[in-house]
Structure 1
Amino acid sequence: MARLNGPCCCKEVVLCYVKSAHRPPSLRMRKAPVVKMPSSLTLLLFLCLSAATPAALADSTIAVTNHESGSTVRYSVVLLEGTIPSDAGPLTIENLNAPEYAEPVRVVQHEGKFRALVELGKGRNRIRLSTEQQTEPLEFVLKYQLQTNPHYVRLIWMTDKSGDTTYATPTSDTPQDYENRLRTAALLMQCFTAERMNQLGYGHRTFRLERDRDGKVIVHTWAGGRTMEEYHAMPDDQFWWRDVYRWIDEEHPDPLAKNCVLAAYTRKDPATGQLKSHTALGGGNLGLFGSASVFSWPTSIGSAADTFLDESRFDSTQVHDDSVGRSTYWGLSSTTIGATLHEMGHTFGLPHTTDRYDIMTRGFDHFNRCFTYCDPVSGTNGQPIYFRPNQEAYFAPVSASYLRWSPWFQLDRPTGASTRPDIQLTDTGVTITCKSGIPWVGIHVGGDIHHHEEQDARRPPKKLELTFEQIREMVGGKQPSRLRAISTSGQEAAVNLPNG
């Protein structure tokens, strides 16, 4: 388990608001939520229709660079990013097959680049892209197909015994829409993961979220067995985590679920500043989080870009500031959604790493950078920060390579037999055997993973032998502490390595 400790724009960013074609007129005319946008940025907001891009056409045209037209994705909210002529004006994106609940698409543009989150309907999605300079719109096609993997992530809003679902907010008029906020955060984490896995060569692979018959992500609202006061009185968050773990296993058991649990009863005492029932801990089948920052999370996919560009401050005497000093809505939302994904990474089996931008380190502070081009003004920066691609949060290769083989990252129901590697220590090293093959081996130094070896996924070896000298060389001469191996069926084995 790991604990969360306390915890980019450019010269011009354009947000383009796009109407959805498949909603009744009354919904199409619905106003986008009003938020305070960064005054330090030149933000131009446009209300328009939209489309996406076919993959690279020509230097003078619009191009989607992270998806191919006609390809199939296995998750419902995709990030489209690409290039656009700098003089083309605002880009509009519209999914002609969008689900009824889809909001207008927000397009973020900067210096010839664009990013946009698009909600997909089941089956074929015709995504239209257009600008004022084009006489004919361009169309980009994505097919959305549900995963059949039985392993999934389950979202749970945990109340105390009374069933009170309310959560802490900085003002009394903040909406208590926990279902929308938790659902949106989960969809963003799923999309983020797919993008980062694809960038490292594993395809748009991600975990499955639990959905109802209509395809909507489910948020369970379940009451724990104790009062708020009893939860607040628990001696430490490790004790609390173990108590919730038992509650899940006894009241809502499911070996195929990784449980993302948000505690509604997190509260800050304004008089003492003490924060009660707040944590970020993950391991086994449970990621447990306090709800102190949920008020800052976007309420919908359509509002995500607004949230990650919102410089507004909040009253930290009423709510916890877990934004590493940024003290803004965008900073708080980025850090805490990123931290949620970090802890869920632990439930998938990921340890900490040494890569500063990995989600499994403090890279989770920069979760927002997947969806924008700048960090707006905050308590730690008086000017917008224009980041480079190598300064964005991601899953480091050592993390992504492990997730590739996790049972929770297989897109379809497994067909082969499940086998676990066998690891034996010898006088001179380690011998690993597995009937189905060994595609991945990782080596720890202390509690962090420092090195991994990927084998040919098409023909993974059934036996690997490593000497202790080879293992030490792999971690740069440091003292290795643990070796892990995973099979093609996602089963893992590990052994502690001897000192010396």
Structure 2
Amino acid sequence: MCSKEHTIQLINVADNDKFTHSLILVKGVIVNRCDQSILKVKINNSDYPASSTVKFINEKRGQFKLLLKLKSGENNLTLIYCNHELELCLFYEETNHNYTVTPLYIICKGHNGHYQSDTEDNGIENACEKITLGVELVQCLYAEKLSEKGFGRKTFTIGCKCYPFYSSLPLTDSKNMTDQELWTYFANEILGSELFLPEKQKFVGFISSTYYEGISGKDFSYETIKRRTTGHAALGGGGFALFGTGCLYTWPRKLIDIIPAFLNTKLVNRELFMDDSNYRYTYGGCFATTIGSVCHEMGHIFDLGHTKDGLMGSGIDLINRVFTLPTMTDILPDRIVSRTGLKRELMNSKLTTIKRPGEFLRKYHQQKESDVTYFSDNCALTLHLNKWFNSNSTTCDNNCDTKLSFNFVTRFITSTHSFIKLVELRDKGNGMLKMFWSFQDTNTVCFKIVEDIPLDGLTLFVIDSFGNILKQDL
């Protein structure tokens, strides 16, 4: 019997916490840990499957992270480490939220629905299970990141599991379409179908027929890879976000496989399969970057603009850090925000660490101490107020008299029957945030944009206390 006195300290959850999403993240620390003991988990007196196969402990700091799936209602958890046990009760409360997000697996006319993969297990059912799990992971991430900003564990509601949507777009036509053209076609088709509940439903679509033609030379830059890929997209806006499935082969199908998928260092055969890892070249890198892309583009369907950093900027590649405890950092190429999405800076033949050691060290220490994944303050406030993130939707629906308006002459933004909570000015071309004013703790019904701020080429974004939005090109 161990003579040490152990303690399990939880960081992000507490006894009797309530969740509106079933896939949850639990973070904690083992104090005074042993050399040989492992962390075990029981839910409702049953061994939790992941605990026997996934190593959660960070050797140096005793930190751990768990991904758990809660059933509806009460869940009794027991964390066991050596001779110490910690019991807690967590509740999963399903919501009847009217505002939902529906994941779809889009199959073009003439395609069999099998996505490009390095295994034969790549059919429709497999794809839908992977996409459902991926969107649940994004749902969990949104909740955790809003909680870190002090808004509680708010997140969007998934209306149902992913299912196939059979498009009328011929496969041959889709191969010659740009990502913007694909988004426009599928958005019109889906939002015009009987699936769509006007103004209360958004969709996340994944194209089954994304195809990487391969590269025989040595130019494996992302720009070349993208040119060699058809049926690929990563765009979001309005009620629809669209993605390719070129890297779906790196995604896990089951909860137990999420952490191993993030930590998978297997190298991608870039001659045969798409590599979207921001130059990490690994399966884990592809999974992290593409899940990060889903987080980013879904942000656009929730009316978020671009920011320099964070999830709506350059910070989409290290999603793995939210759910794992890696022992080394990733210093990746910076991204450029453009009108058509996020682009990578071309890899320089000379190490940037030699050219900019100060910046390298800053990034290294920043990543070493945190998961470097976050929403900027203005984005977090927008999500906090957004109707898709507030299950008490009756308060959102019962404000028919509420109106937001902007007067070009006086430069005044006014609101009736609600309070202005956030004002943003964004670049009209790429949606990049230029400046913002937050009224989180004040009740403001009128705000003037001062005369010395030029408005040409900008877009005005305003959100009020009911989640109503004014978006207007200036």
Q: TM-score, normalised by structure 2?
A: 0.81
Q: Which residue of 2 aligns with 1:140?
A: 88
Q: Which residue of 2 aligns with 1:188?
A: 137
**Cα distance in 2, alignment partners of residues 480 and 109 from structure 1:** 51
For residues 338-389 of structure 1, the C-alpha deviation after alignment (integer angstroms, 9 at most, x for no partner) is 101111111111111012xx111121111111001227699979xxx88334
Q: State the shift of 1:413 in Å.
A: 2.6
Q: Which residue of 1 aligns with 2:318?
A: 366
Q: Which residue of 2 aligns with 1:264?
A: 208
For residues 242-286 of structure 1, the C-alpha deviation after alignment (integer angstroms, 9 at most, x for no partner) is 111111122332222211000001112237772111111111111
The answer to whether the aligner puts 1:290 opposite 2:244 as a matched pair is yes
Contact 2:105–2:163 at 8 Å: present in 1 too?
yes
Distance 1:380 1:388, change over 3 A: closer
Distance 1:112 1:163, change over 3 A: same
**Cα distance in 1, alignment partners of residues 136 and 282 from structure 2:** 22
The answer to whether the aligner puts 1:321 opposite 2:272 as a matched pair is no
**Cα distance in 2, alignment partners of residues 437 and 340 from structure 1:** 31
The answer to whether the aligner puts 1:130 opposite 2:80 as a matched pair is yes
Distance 1:287 1:173, change over 3 A: closer
Q: State the shift of 1:298 in Å.
A: 1.4
Further displaced range: 187-196 or 142-151: 142-151
Q: Which residue of 2 aligns with 1:455?
A: 439
**Cα distance in 2, alignment partners of residues 347 and 380 from structure 1:** 27
Equivalent residue in structure 1 for 2:372, among 380, 392, 400:
392
**SS of aligned partner of 1:190:** helix
The answer to whether the aligner puts 1:304 opposite 2:287 as a matched pair is no
Q: State the shift of 1:93 in Å.
A: 1.9
Distance 1:80 1:170, change over 3 A: same
Q: Which residue of 2 aligns with 1:232?
A: 175
Contact 1:232–1:277 at 8 Å: present in 2 too?
yes
The answer to whether the aligner puts 1:426 opposite 2:395 as a matched pair is no
Q: Which residue of 2 aligns with 1:490?
A: 467
**Cα distance in 1, alignment partners of residues 327 and 241 from structure 2:** 27
Distance 1:460 1:379, change over 3 A: closer
Identity of aligned residues (%): 24
Letter in 1 for 2:173: E
**Cα distance in 1, alignment partners of residues 45 and 394 from structure 2:** 31
Contact 2:70–2:92 at 8 Å: present in 1 too?
yes
Contact 1:443–1:480 at 8 Å: present in 2 too?
no
Contact 2:250–2:287 at 8 Å: present in 1 too?
yes
For these two proteins, the number of residue pairs brought into alignment is 415
Contact 1:398–1:451 at 8 Å: present in 2 too?
no
Q: Which residue of 2 aligns with 1:438?
A: 420
Letter in 1 for 2:438: E
**Cα distance in 2, alignment partners of residues 488 and 97 from structure 1:** 43
**Cα distance in 2, alignment partners of residues 347 and 494 from structure 1:** 13
Q: State the shift of 1:443 in Å.
A: 2.4
**SS of aligned partner of 1:108:** coil
Runs of 5+ unmatched residues, structure 1: 1-58, 212-217, 473-477
Aligned pairs for 1:273-284 within 5 A: 274-284=228-238
The answer to whether the aligner puts 1:221 opposite 2:169 as a matched pair is no
Letter in 2 for 1:200: K
Higher relative contact order (CA 8 A, sep 6+): 1
Contact 1:309–1:376 at 8 Å: present in 2 too?
no
Equivalent residue in structure 2 for 1:87, among 8, 33, 51:
33
Contact 1:420–1:434 at 8 Å: present in 2 too?
yes
The answer to whether the aligner puts 1:353 opposite 2:307 as a matched pair is yes
**SS of aligned partner of 2:407:** strand
Distance 1:163 1:254, change over 3 A: farther
The answer to whether the aligner puts 1:204 opposite 2:187 as a matched pair is no
Distance 1:249 1:296, change over 3 A: same
Contact 2:6–2:83 at 8 Å: present in 1 too?
no
**Cα distance in 2, alignment partners of residues 496 and 173 from structure 1:** 47
Distance 1:241 1:131, change over 3 A: same
Letter in 2 for 1:156: L
Runs of 5+ unmatched residues, structure 2: 217-224, 334-363
**Cα distance in 2, alignment partners of residues 127 and 157 from structure 1:** 34
The answer to whether the aligner puts 1:112 opposite 2:62 as a matched pair is yes
Contact 2:6–2:32 at 8 Å: present in 1 too?
no
For residues 102-130 of structure 1, the C-alpha deviation after alignment (integer angstroms, 9 at most, x for no partner) is 84344522112111111101111111111
**Cα distance in 2, alignment partners of residues 479 and 369 from structure 1:** 40
**Cα distance in 2, alignment partners of residues 189 and 485 from structure 1:** 25
**SS of aligned partner of 1:365:** coil
**SS of aligned partner of 1:343:** helix
Distance 1:278 1:124, change over 3 A: same
**Cα distance in 2, alignment partners of residues 378 and 79 from structure 1:** 22
Q: Which residue of 1 aligns with 2:101?
A: 153
For residues 449-474 of structure 1, the C-alpha deviation after alignment (integer angstroms, 9 at most, x for no partner) is 133333245x63222234234x68xx
Equivalent residue in structure 2 for 1:65, among 11, 14, 23:
11
**Cα distance in 2, alignment partners of residues 378 and 463 from structure 1:** 45
**Cα distance in 2, alignment partners of residues 352 and 170 from structure 1:** 34
Q: Which residue of 2 aligns with 1:409?
A: 389
Equivalent residue in structure 2 for 1:465, among 432, 435, 448:
448
More helix by share: 2
**SS of aligned partner of 1:324:** coil
Letter in 1 for 2:307: T
RMSD after superposition:
2.7
